[in-house]
Amino acid sequence: MSITGIKGMNDILPGEVEAWQFLESSARRVFAAFGYREIRVPVVEKTELFCRSIGETTDIVEKEMYTFADKGGTSMTMRPEGTAPVIRAFIEHKLHTLDPVSKLYYLGPMFRHERPQKGRYRQFHQIGAEVIGLDDPKIDAQVLAMLSHFFATVGIDGVTLQINSLGCPECRPAYRQALLDFLQARLGQLCADCQRRAATNPLRALDCKVPGCIEATAGAPAVIEHLCTGCDLHFEAVRSHLTELEVPYTVNPRMVRGLDYYTKTTFEMVTDRLGAQSAVAAGGRYDRLVADLGGPPLPGIGFAMGEERLALLLGARDDASPRPALFIATLGVEAERFGFRLLTRLQRQGIYAEMEYAGKSLKAQLRRADKLGARRVLILGGDELARGIAQLRDMAAGTQEEVPLTELDARLGLVVCD
Ligand code: ATP
Ligand code: MG
């Protein structure tokens, strides 16, 4: 029996990978213009990093992490998200001593043990960005401007930016209490998870996807009605900067996000085109995280986009299969030798060229050229070689002409060398 891949972990095949490359190169270009530099961190970290940052009572830490003991007995976890490892690296390498503001981006696989379905996998990929060292609301607006600009650049429409504020350690406790009182009065209507969450992490109940819980919490108090003056002003300023920068958004007072480290501004890019998997990108401010992980008291803000969901929204791209500029068809040993050398010269000069390697008939070679979508075919036979010419066929026009071998380089756009 053959060995198959692991459920929820996908291969990205040629034909699909082009959309990924397009998304990644677009992200790199957009992020660079906003001053971000790439950081690469390992896919495995000490489990403690995620427990302390994401929060012990979140779904991710409670049930979704791939955690194992390594041979030395240390508890390791396959990263479920990118922010915590990036902040860990930021602190470890004291990046704030090099520059008071760090703008970093990352891309790569993340791992969560979730129930696989369309747009939800166990190994998935994120493209994310973080700004550490600034708490000015202009930065929140700029991060959101960059995120919406990315969507415009890659041509994904039908996504809406939703924003909210989760307050800070000053205003959160009073809100938490108000929410707790609300939930206690409706405990019977909540699912078992939310009954438990009501005591440990009541905000999570607002994130629950169970219909009964959504109904029961419909009239729940909103965080933005309980913000302290500082958080309120910050949120106001973010909103007015978004308007200045002409970034459309709506306020979603129910959005709480699935990670505990968020403070103040939180946001999601949502779509109704992916069924239950409505969030394509998500993030927020985390003004306590750097200090909580043992670093200096620096504020931060960031987001992550799910690449699988982006790729689903992007759909198939027509430039999916690269077409050879030239296919070389040969007949006979001499012609094949000549053709093979020419092929390699073309490839060395960055021109995508192909030939048939297995000595097939001319008809079979032309069929192969057609299948690959070659733009032109160079036909080299023993006779042609002897006459010092080759036939150059234009596949789209259906025309064919004789080209002297001495003019071949110039005709094929090769840099002439001996
Ligand atoms: P969801 O509500 O869909 O579970 P989330 O709040 O858990 O998302 P985040 O942790 O904020 O998501 O991750 C940011 C983005 O990463 C999401 O918006 C989504 O596009 C993507 N993502 C998260 N989990 C998965 C997954 N299991 N498979 C594919 N993409 C995912
Ligand atoms: Mg999730």
> What is the residue-level pLDDT of the chain in tens, covering all 418 positions?
899 999 999 999 998 999 999 999 999 999 999 999 999 999 999 999 999 999 998 889 999 999 999 999 999 999 999 999 999 999 999 999 999 999 999 999 999 999 999 999 999 999 999 999 999 999 999 999 999 999 999 999 999 999 999 999 999 999 999 999 999 999 999 999 899 888 888 988 898 888 999 999 999 999 999 999 999 999 999 999 999 999 999 999 999 887 888 999 999 999 999 988 899 999 999 999 999 999 999 999 999 999 999 999 998 666 657 899 999 999 999 999 999 999 999 999 999 999 988 878 999 999 999 999 999 999 999 899 999 999 999 988 989 999 999 998 888 877 654 4
Say which CATH class 17-171+227-314 falls into.
alpha beta
Q: Enumerate the β-bridge partners of residue 160.
A: 270
**Paired tokens of 10:** 């996908």
Spacing, Cα 306 to ligand 1 middle (Å): 6
Please tell me the residue having the least CA distance from ligand 1 atom 4: 277
Spacing, Cα 299 to ligand 2 middle (Å): 24
Spacing, Cα 183 to ligand 1 middle (Å): 26
- The bound ligand whose nearest atom lies closest to the alpha carbon of 281 is 1
Spacing, Cα 258 to ligand 2 middle (Å): 7
Spacing, Cα 204 to ligand 1 middle (Å): 15
- The bound ligand whose nearest atom lies closest to the alpha carbon of 277 is 1
Would you state the pLDDT for residue 321? 74
* Ligand 1 nearest-atom number relative to CA 257: 6
* Residue 262 CB less than 6 A away from ligand 1: no
Would you say the CATH fold of 326-412 matches that of 17-171+227-314? no
**Paired tokens of 367:** 């069929």
The domain spans of the chain are 17-171+227-314, 326-412
Please tell me the residue having the least CA distance from ligand 1 atom 5: 258
DSSP 207: G
Report the C-alpha gap between 369 and 411 in whole angstroms. Answer: 19
* Residue 277 CB less than 6 A away from ligand 1: yes
* Ligand 1 nearest-atom number relative to CA 304: 14
Spacing, Cα 351 to ligand 2 middle (Å): 44
Burial group, residue 349, by CB count within 10 angstroms (0-12, 13-18, 19+):
middle
Question: What architecture (CATH level 2) is domain 326-412?
Answer: 3-Layer(aba) Sandwich (3.40)
Would you state the pLDDT for residue 319? 61
| Backbone angles phi and psi of 109, in degrees to 5 | -75, 145
CA-wise closest residue to 49 among 247, 255, 293, 279: 293
E strand residue ranges, 263-359: 263-271, 279-285, 300-306, 326-330, 353-355
- The bound ligand whose nearest atom lies closest to the alpha carbon of 305 is 1
* Ligand 1 nearest-atom number relative to CA 279: 18
Whole-structure pTM value: 0.90
